[in-house]
Structure 1
Amino acid sequence: MSKDEGTVVSDLINFLNASPTTFHAAAEAKKQLQAVGYEQISEKEVWELKAGHKYFLTRDHSTIVAFAVGKRYVAGNGFHIIGAHTDSPCLKLKPVSKVVKGGILEVGVQTYGGGLWYTWFDRDLTVAGRVILKRENAGSVSYSHRLVRIEEPIMRVPTLAIHLDRGVNDGFKVNTQTHLVPILATSLKAEVNKVSSENGSVESGKQNDGRKENDKTGSSNAKHHPILLQLLASKLECEPDDICDFELQASDTQPSINSRKITTPFSPVRVSDSGRFRFRFRLP
């Protein structure tokens, strides 16, 4: 592998490690574009583009569009477009993710995209995405968007031990509703018992899917495990009650790696080029 090839691979690995979600991917792309001279513009403003300059814009914190105007570009000439998607198959947390069954704290998730779901079993998982925070100051309320990623493992989608499922080697079909249900790591169990919900009660091991409780209070504690909210609040340096809403997904804590000891770079992130396309346009 040449030095240039090694640099390209390392840059890709670094990008993947910094982009566990589509929101992080857009933010990382924005940072890299600004580092090489791209200027941010807004769809809400009138553009005054200049030849030889480079620009980019974002939409919903998950889409980024960048373009460069050639020094000799003339209005009406053709142009090239290269596109790719920033999302990938994943397990997204449900709007009501709080599930307790048999004393086990589960996190309700739903599949997104067409994934190889069997690869999600027995991995050290965490959560990443964006959180909407509510701030009250002098009678006024403001909302802000924050990216979040908890580095340490907090969840796992377990498989049964072989003596509990002797026929698993004859074939296993993943049921996304019953098999792909992450449980909070057992290392958090002691902390869970200390976390109080909004009405002052301690989260228990009683059977509960969060929906009835949510109908009564409408609070985040009713929708999601208090320990999960505590972890997010700690990462964001805010109070759990400041969390108004979030869009999170399960994320592998194992980083992508690139080493001479392996033949190809390895990444737990699903890299897909199926979303790439390239067109050349020439205006009439």
Structure 2
Amino acid sequence: MEKSGMQDKDAFNREMLEFLQASTTPFHAVAEMSRRLDAAGFSALREADAWELQAGGKYYVQRNQSSLVAFVYGTDELPEKGWRMWGAHTDSPCLKLKPKPDIEKKGYRQWGVQVYGGALLNPWFDRDLSLAGRVHYQTKDGALKQRLIDLQRAVAVIPSLAIHLDREANNARTVNPQTDMPPIVCFSGDNSDLETLLLEYLKAEGAPDAVELIDFELSLYDTQPPAVIGWRNEFIASARLDNLLSCFVGLRGLLAAGNKTHAVLVCNDHEEVGSLSAIGAQGPMLKAILQRVVGDHESFERAIHQSLMVSADNAHGVHPNYVDRHDNNHGPLLNAGPVIKINANQRYASTSETNTLFTALCKACDVPVQQFVIRSDMGCGSTIGPITSGALGVRTVDIGVPTFAMHSCRELAGSEDAHGLAKVAAHFFASRELPQI
């Protein structure tokens, strides 16, 4: 097998923090990945166009600006060698603005929000929140345009209720997403509705011809920047570690892959809400692209059965204050290596064969590996792994970096783990032969 180099841990983490800071929504994550792919010599493809792929060429496809498939069309024979595939997702639990969000109460302007995914709501209180996403608008001459926006400054807050007015707040606090979560934006007035504020912003930021807001997909996010923290810099603290960390790791691995193997990175939107959409893992995007790459059904089936998918999504590290929430023999530790996720009821797609293959890849890179199994008396989450494996028939292993506070607006991972996993990703993508079992 071929091994690919990887920058030192501190430089890698600095680059990852920059990526996380830039990727405030799935739209911005895909835009940032596309920018990095462009800089590395990848060519953008449109699904509506005819493709003429060149051996050794590097390409990527966006759909809805929030899902991405990037691939190397290697020089090796595809049906004989198969694909090296890495899957992750671009979305994270968050607060999304409703289509008609404007609320006025007691002289304050607020925004109605929808909770996207299984978010931890309590951490969103008392945070300095900004707004980002995609807007569609009409210009003076009647043209319809769209634009990604990121205000990059705090414009909203959800203040907690003082403990004097809720004496049980520390004992039995519950959160009603309809009534408790609308943030305060400004004092109300004639020019404080969302359309006026957004048109004002667009005109100031390079769209002076915008006259009417048509629609939008906008999310709130915590403005606290990602950081390396801990007495000895042991941890990474950031929003959206689940699962932009895995997107970044896969991207760095793909950029180090060379041009011999057929390497694929897929980053789907909508994983946090079930993946059933035109751009989600349960939709047709990845299979349609792979079929176009290989050209015919028989070659596709031959290639799939020589392939391996690594489904990368964060794992639950053992929280020292809640060790009883884990199985005693399967409690992943931060900075102790990536985690293979296993579930007898197929909530994860890992098998003994794919676990063995991934373990061999980690050993080849001198990266330790751990295992996670949920307690038998608790429900288990899932990933894009079983969905992609079921749709394609590809061997799949579910893995991830151990994390605390998953689905909070600020999560915590080890500062060693993403760098170690990126070594494995680079080695995996460059591997012209998988270990034989």
Q: State TM-score, norm by structure 2.
A: 0.52
State the alpha-carbon separation in 1 of the partners of residues 394 and 179 from structure 2.
48
| 8 A Cα contact 1:78 1:281, kept in partner | no
Matched, 1:248 2:218: yes
Aligned partner of 1:127 in structure 2 is 131
Once the two structures are superposed, what CA deviation does each residue of 1:1-27 show, in whole Å capped at 9, x if it has no partner? x96122222221111100000100010
Secondary structure of the residue that 2:32 maps to in structure 1? Answer: helix
| 8 A Cα contact 1:57 1:64, kept in partner | yes
Matched, 1:268 2:219: no
| 8 A Cα contact 1:150 1:232, kept in partner | no
What pairs with 1:1-284 in structure 2 (closer than 5 Å)? 4-75=8-79, 77-137=81-141, 141-184=142-185, 188-189=186-187, 193=189, 195=191, 224=194, 226-227=196-197, 229-238=199-208, 241-258=211-228, 262-272=233-243, 273-274=313-314, 275=383, 277=385, 281=394
| 8 A Cα contact 2:199 2:212, kept in partner | no
| 8 A Cα contact 2:140 2:211, kept in partner | no
Once the two structures are superposed, what CA deviation does each residue of 1:55-109 show, in whole Å capped at 9, x if it has no partner? 1011111111101011223456421221111011010000000111222211011
Once the two structures are superposed, what CA deviation does each residue of 1:131-184 show, in whole Å capped at 9, x if it has no partner? 1121243xxx32222110112211001111111111111121111111111111
Q: CA, structure 1 residues 113+260, in 2 after alignment: closer, same or farther (shift >3 Å)? A: closer
| 8 A Cα contact 1:233 1:243, kept in partner | no
- The structural deviation recorded for 1:36 is 0.8
Secondary structure of the residue that 2:18 maps to in structure 1? Answer: helix
Secondary structure of the residue that 1:64 maps to in structure 2? Answer: strand
Aligned partner of 1:217 in structure 2 is none
Unaligned runs of 5+ in 2: 1-5, 244-312, 315-382, 396-437
| 8 A Cα contact 1:98 1:225, kept in partner | no
Q: CA, structure 1 residues 225+103, in 2 after alignment: closer, same or farther (shift >3 Å)? A: farther
State the alpha-carbon separation in 2 of the partners of residues 164 and 239 from structure 1.
48
Once the two structures are superposed, what CA deviation does each residue of 1:213-253 show, in whole Å capped at 9, x if it has no partner? xxxxxxxx6xx363454345434543663432211011111
Unaligned runs of 5+ in 1: 196-202, 204-220
- The structural deviation recorded for 1:49 is 0.9
State the alpha-carbon separation in 2 of the partners of residues 227 and 46 from structure 1.
41
Q: CA, structure 1 residues 104+228, in 2 after alignment: closer, same or farther (shift >3 Å)? A: farther
| 8 A Cα contact 1:148 1:236, kept in partner | no
Aligned partner of 2:261 in structure 1 is none
Secondary structure of the residue that 1:158 maps to in structure 2? Answer: coil
Aligned partner of 1:212 in structure 2 is none
State the alpha-carbon separation in 2 of the partners of residues 27 and 108 from structure 1.
27
- The letter of the residue matching 1:158 is P
State the alpha-carbon separation in 2 of the partners of residues 240 and 107 from structure 1.
22
| 8 A Cα contact 1:256 1:269, kept in partner | no
Moved more, 147-156 or 270-279: 270-279
- The structural deviation recorded for 1:263 is 2.2
Identity %: 37
Q: CA, structure 1 residues 163+281, in 2 after alignment: closer, same or farther (shift >3 Å)? A: closer
Secondary structure of the residue that 1:12 maps to in structure 2? Answer: helix
Secondary structure of the residue that 2:144 maps to in structure 1? Answer: strand
State the alpha-carbon separation in 1 of the partners of residues 206 and 178 from structure 2.
31
State the alpha-carbon separation in 2 of the partners of residues 160 and 225 from structure 1.
29
State the alpha-carbon separation in 1 of the partners of residues 21 and 97 from structure 2.
21
Q: Report the number of matched residues.
A: 247
Secondary structure of the residue that 1:169 maps to in structure 2? Answer: helix
| 8 A Cα contact 2:228 2:234, kept in partner | no
Secondary structure of the residue that 1:166 maps to in structure 2? Answer: coil
Secondary structure of the residue that 1:16 maps to in structure 2? Answer: helix
State the alpha-carbon separation in 2 of the partners of residues 109 and 56 from structure 1.
33
State the alpha-carbon separation in 2 of the partners of residues 270 and 75 from structure 1.
35
Moved more, 257-266 or 175-184: 257-266
